[in-house]
Amino acid sequence: MFKLIDLPYSLEALEPVISARTMEFHYGKHHKAYVDNLNNLIKGTEYENLTLEDIIRTSIGTFFHNAGQVLNHNYYFQQFAPANSIKRKEPQGPLAQQIIKQWGSFEAFKEEFVKEGLAVFGSGWVWLDASNDGFLQINQEAGANNPIARGLKPILTFDVWEHAYYLDYQNRRADQLKALWEIVNWEKVEKRY
């Protein structure tokens, strides 16, 4: 059985980028619903004792959608920290080197990431993921899709489902995507690479 992850910060800690009210709905209701739905679905099935990643790799339909959303939200919520606790606003080490190698600068990477997030039609995710050889890609994923389903390593994700930002930004997806950079915990994200 899967559990709703514990947040490494309080519900109001990401304000003003993400309000406590949005966290109450997004984490406390949407994310919790995916966890609860997945647990109810897998009881007595071949998925009951699998890891989240293995369910994503081997399932389709409702199993896949709920497992994917649990994983996507786990990555999303765990990559943030309160803005005043973040030591640096950019990655360092191998991840930073690869970003600069591929995009020329961190600023150019951020611009491309936001552009791809804005171009997601409807609801979904924008991901930075890596292949086994460390090559980075920015990918749009519809619905519950994610890099693991395609054999890639998830590094960073921004949620572009409206429930992730509508209370704070209404229809201003671009404002939300640009603001999220302020709360990315690069020390955590770098470990994923």
Residue-averaged pLDDT of the chain? 95
In the chain, what are the helix, strand and coil shares in percent, each to the nearest 5?
Answer: 55, 10, 35
d(CA 62, CA 51): 16
Residue whose tokens read 């979904």:
124
Give the residue among 14, 18, 50, 37 at the shortest CA–CA distance from 144: 37
Q: Is the pLDDT of residue 122 over 90?
A: no
Chain segment 141-161, per-residue pLDDT in tens = 999 999 999 999 999 999 998
Chain segment 12-56, per-residue pLDDT in tens = 999 999 999 999 999 999 999 999 999 999 999 999 999 999 999
Say which CATH superfamily domain 19-193 falls into: Iron/manganese superoxide dismutase, C-terminal domain (3.55.40.20)
E strands in 51-180: 124-130, 136-142, 153-159
d(CA 40, CA 52): 14
Report residue 19: phi and psi, to 5°. Answer: -75, 160
Give the global pTM. 0.94
Give the residue among 157, 166, 165 at the shortest CA–CA distance from 137: 157
Helix (H/G/I), strand (E/B), else coil: 87: coil
- Total Cβ atoms within 10 A of residue 42: 20
Q: Is the pLDDT of residue 76 over 90?
A: yes
In the chain, what are the domain boundaries? 19-193
